[in-house]
Amino acid sequence: MGINSEYNIHLSFTSSTTCDDIKNFIDENKYPIMKRLDENYLSRVKRDKRILFIAAIFTKEITHIHFLKTFLHNVAFVKRKYVFSFLDANEDQNILRFFNLNSKDIPKIVIYDFSIGKYFIDNFSYLNDEDSMTKLNNLIGNIENGNIRWTSGYLLEDFLETMGIKISRNILLVIFLFVVTLIFIVLGIVLCNFLDKIKEVRKIKKE
């Protein structure tokens, strides 16, 4: 079964091919091998809770495009259970900011695991290395072996998780707002007491 050139994949039917085989094939291959990331595509991957590889590059930089079209494309072709995409650091800064990045940090590879809502940023220091394929495969191996240190982008949430405390972001927000409110209440009480004492001192001086 052929699929358009953007996908560039085929499924061969045999006597042992089952409906589950076809379903799994479609599920793993319903994303293009390499597609430029936009907010709609990001939402689509998020709904499926897939792991998304994002090559944050400058699309007018020759070395970046070479890496994208050779090394990363070859890995994406084999590792179909992951979704691979790219973005332009100049034109897609709204997506970069989501990962606390800016154009000065480029190039980078961002890996987002939507099943846990966390991401990992690779240093991406191997644009021209001959070992790029090996390094990319090692990176995927670290994901599959659980050796990636994911981050939520929130230091407190990450810190609590290292201590074995898992609290949702919404609960953390409620706790934060409660603490801030409590601090303002305490400061208000202290300020009121301070002003009262000033009034008493002034009153005493007048007498």
Report yes or no on 100 lying in a domain: yes
Give the count of beta carbons closer than 10 Å to the beta carbon of residue 206.
6
Report yes or no on 18 lying in a domain: no
CATH of the domain at 40: 3.40.30.10
Report yes or no on 26 lying in a domain: no
Each residue of 136-171: b (16+ CB within 10 Å) or e? Answer: beebbeebeeeebebbeeeeebeeeeeeeeeeeeee
Residue 29, pLDDT above cutoff 80: no
Q: What is the pLDDT of residue 2?
A: 32
Q: How many domains does the chain have?
A: 2
Report yes or no on 10 lying in a domain: no
Residue 3, pLDDT above cutoff 50: no
Q: What is the pLDDT of residue 6?
A: 47
Give 44-83 pLDDT, tens digit per residue.
Answer: 888 888 899 998 889 888 888 888 888 888 888 888 888 9
Report yes or no on 7 lying in a domain: no
Residue 151, pLDDT above cutoff 70: yes
Whether 179 and 149 map to the same domain: the answer is no
Higher pLDDT, 126 or 200: 200
Residue 35, pLDDT above cutoff 70: yes
Domain span at 202: 154-207
135 Cβ contact list (under 8 Å, min separation 6): 126, 129
Give the count of beta carbons closer than 10 Å to the beta carbon of residue 42.
18
Whether 206 and 140 map to the same domain: the answer is no
Q: How far is CA 117 from the centre of its chain?
A: 8
32 — pLDDT class (breaks 50, 70, 90): confident
* Section 121-139 average pLDDT: 77
**Distance from C-alpha of 96 to C-alpha of 40, rounded to nearest angstrom:** 15
* Section 184-196 average pLDDT: 88
Going by C-alpha positions, the residue among 7, 79, 87 that lies closest to residue 96 is 87
Residue 152, pLDDT above cutoff 70: yes
Q: What is the pLDDT of residue 28?
A: 63
Higher pLDDT, 92 or 7: 92
Tell me what percent of the residues of the chain surpass a pLDDT of 90: 10
Give 75-122 pLDDT, tens digit per residue.
Answer: 888 888 889 999 998 888 888 888 888 888 888 889 999 988 889 988
Report yes or no on 4 lying in a domain: no
**Encoding tokens for residue 66?**
């070479």
From residue 42, alpha-carbon distances to 33, 77, 81 in Å are: 15, 19, 16
